[in-house]
Structure 1
Amino acid sequence: MRFPVPLLCLFLITASIFAAEKGSTSEKRSARNSLPAAGVLLTFDDRNMNQWVKQIPLFRKYNAQVTFFVDHFHTLTPQQLEALQQLKAAGHTIGCHGLKHRKAVDYVRAQGMERYLKDEIEPAVKQMTDAGFPPTCFAYPSSSRNEEIDQALLKTFRHLRGGTGLSAGQRMRDLKSIYVPIDQIASTGCLIGTGIDYAGTEKRPDYLTEIKDAMDHAKQRGEIVVFYAHNISDEGPEHHLQPLVLEAILAHAQQIGLATLTYDDLP
């Protein structure tokens, strides 16, 4: 079968564009699966995107990318959506934090797994995908999770994030669950983080030192350490990490050669 010359030219151009895009996608996938010797996953939750977006120059200064987990996506304003677009364009990952920030264990216990997925997960994923933010990762609201729910959600997401806190007198470097060896990342569906809001303030005056020590520990042992916070601002509202403290964390990561990763960097 012979094509008219203009149609043949159009076919060849389209084929070459498709090949180029396919090659680019393969390169990105290959890069994502090639992890550094050690790293830190910084994550931020909820709907503070109008504050998050102000930190793009700070992240760029340290060549750092992070993950933002968003809930109540259906309530976002055009300004908030534009902020998310800017964050995504800057190389950051936008993940899912549920439709209405429901506690998974309580909801599954009361309504069942199927109802939880239909009420909290499926609509959130659809809304994010329709808006151009298809999520590959999920953070449990209030760190409410169990193995059964993990397995159900890992059919939709590549990785999840739970959470844990420090016991009295416990050092962050000894909080074993927040570290994952690099060679075990691909097989670890749910990574566990610890909260770092208020680090360096009167509420948690020693936390910045603890965070840096935990990062040193991850670097020395060839692991990824996971942290989570919420707003990024000097005074909140609510749970927040001050920009100067965030910069101290990013600067320390750069100083010790600890890669700052997003969830989309993980295999």
Structure 2
Amino acid sequence: MKNTAFLWLVMNVGLWGCHEATKPLPPAGIALSFDDRYVEEWTRLRPLLKKYNVHVTFYVTQFDSLTPKEVALLHQLQRDGHEIGAHGAAHIRVLDWMRGGASLDDFFRYEIEAELISMRKAGFRPVTFAHVGGQQTWWTDRRLLRDYFKLLRDVSMTERRLPFFVFRQPIFGIDEIYYHFDGDRTVHSLLIDQYTNITDAQLKDGLIRAKNTQSVLMLLGHHPLFTPSDEPYAFSVARLEKLLQETQRLGLKTYTMSELVEHGDMETRRK
């Protein structure tokens, strides 16, 4: 009898272990984020985001200067399932701050902690942070992750303009903009604003790579444009809808930035 019970236990543990080992990775997808403080324009995206069942991350800067109406709109976006993240109290680039001779402790006090205090008073608990101007260092990242956030987002571009030269790279070749559920807490999103000159064909290439590699393509923009404009730090809402249509056609899931690291943590623990 004892031998039979022992055999039953071994078989069940073995089956459970096989089940865990073969559990599939999270689906491939995209993670959209939008920066700065275009709260009313972001709110106008609600019907489009609901149409395609999309959840995104809004990274808010200068939170203490928002109007009560804007704060209420952010709560509405959060109730829709979107994430409200942090983007700095005064939108200060950390390297510029340090070049000015100010202390790093003051940067954390006035740029990070001040925003967190304002956001928490308004009922928000941001857990991810978007670097301002794509400026970051390993030692500031270490402290941000240790004391404040569980994920940091930086910026990548298909084009970078250098003196007398424009460096270009294809979207399917930029490894850092694809999340692989590996627990990485410092990530890069591809900027899709107008001045980057990114094309619909390039974005489609990125979606295809994400699908083929079971990863998540991370994209970011700033000001949504509902009518044509030459504003550089802005993106066309019509183009965004084309992107979401292609995302849906390919069967890709959408993630907030905090969901990426949550899934990544689970995958890391399983290994």
TM-score grouping bracket, smaller chain normalisation: 0.7 to 0.9
Corresponding residue to 1:160 among 139, 147, 152: 152
Contact 2:30 2:253 in 1 (8 A): yes
**Post-superposition CA distance 1:66-96 (Å, at most 9, x none):** 0000000011012211221111111110000
What does residue 44 of structure 2 align with? 54
Task: Decide which of 114, 119, 126 is 2:105's aligned counterpart.
Answer: 114
TM-score by length of 1: 0.80
Which stretches in structure 2 are left out of the alignment for 5+ residues?
Answer: 1-23, 160-166, 263-271
1:39 Cα offset (Å): 1.9
Looking at structure 2, the residues matched to 150 and 38 of structure 1 have their Cα atoms a distance apart, in angstroms, of: 27
AA in 2 matched with 1:178? I
How many residue pairs end up in the alignment? 227
- CA contact under 8 A between 1:138 and 1:161: conserved in structure 2? yes
**One-letter amino acid matched to 2:178:** Y
Q: 1:189 aligns with which of 182, 185, 210?
A: 185
2:132 is equivalent to residue 141 of structure 1? yes
Q: Which residue of 2 aligns with 1:240?
A: 234
Deviation at 1:113, TM superposition (A): 2.3
Match of 1:15 in 2: none
Cα pair distance change 1:89/1:35, threshold 3 Å = farther
Alignment of 1:260 with 2:250, yes or no, is no
Instruction: Name the SS of the counterpart of 1:145 in structure 2.
Output: coil
Indicate if the aligned counterparts of 1:231 and 1:238 stay in contact, CA closer than 8 A: no
State the TM-score, normalizing by the size of structure 2. 0.79
Letter in 2 for 1:99: A
Partner Cα distance (2:104, 2:256) in 1: 28
Cα distance in 2 for partners of 1:74, 1:134 equals 15
Q: Structure 1 residues 52 and 35 mapped into 2: Cα distance closer, same or farther (>3 Å)? A: farther
Tell me the percent identity. Answer: 31
> Which letter does structure 2 place at the counterpart of 1:152?
R
Which of these residues, 194, 198, 214, is aligned with residue 194 of structure 2?
198
TM-superposed deviation, 1:161? 0.4
Query: What one-letter code is carried by the residue in structure 2 that aligns with 1:72?
Result: Q
Alignment gaps of 5+ in structure 1: 1-33
CA contact (8 A) 1:108 1:115 kept: no
The equivalent residue for 1:73 is 63
Q: Which residue of 2 aligns with 1:27?
A: none
